[in-house]
Amino acid sequence: GAVVSQHPSWVICKSGTSVKIECRSLDFQATTMFWYRQFPKQSLMLMATSNEGSKATYEQGVEKDKFLINHASLTLSTLTVTSAHPEDSSFYICSSRDQGQNSPLHFGNGTRLTVT
């Protein structure tokens, strides 16, 4: 079945550094990729929607210069947390749909980011 591979699964970084998270669709074309963030004991919140070959659409309150999203190919989307701070520590997860708006979404396994 369709799989989304997300890497890394966890990362610890120092404040001020940047971290890149990758999501790859392994056997389907991910025209659209959704990026979510989950703070402890809270729901998953949509951060942005990336479309292959175009600029990502960010949700209100999400800084596009801080959370850089690149979706240069149909199988790879990346989220870069720039100049990370401890408040960026969270669980980040991507998801994409195989094809067609009624096909199921496939989620990556998520990335646990801890900024020290």
Partner 1 sequence: AQSVTQLDSHVSVSEGTPVLLRCNYSSSYSPSLFWYVQHPNKGLQLLLKYTSAATLVKGINGFEAEFKKSETSFHLTKPSAHMSDAAEYFCVVRNPNQAGTALIFGKGTTLSVSS
> Is residue 60 close enough to count as binding partner 1 by CB under 8 A?
no
Taking Cα atoms as reference points, which of 90, 85, 49, 87 lies closest to residue 69? 49
* Strands, sheet with 4-7, edge to edge from the N-terminal-most edge strand: 4-7, 19-25, 76-81, 67-73
> Is residue 89 close enough to count as binding partner 1 by CB under 8 A?
no
Q: Contact region for partner 1 (CB under 8 A) — 15-23, 61-69, 73-81, 106-114?
A: 106-114
> Is residue 80 close enough to count as binding partner 1 by CB under 8 A?
no
Q: Which of residues 33-52 bind partner 1 (CB under 8 A)?
A: 34, 36, 42-46, 49, 51
Site for partner 1, rule CB under 8 A: 6, 31-32, 34, 36, 42-46, 49, 51, 93, 95, 101-102, 104-105, 107-110, 112
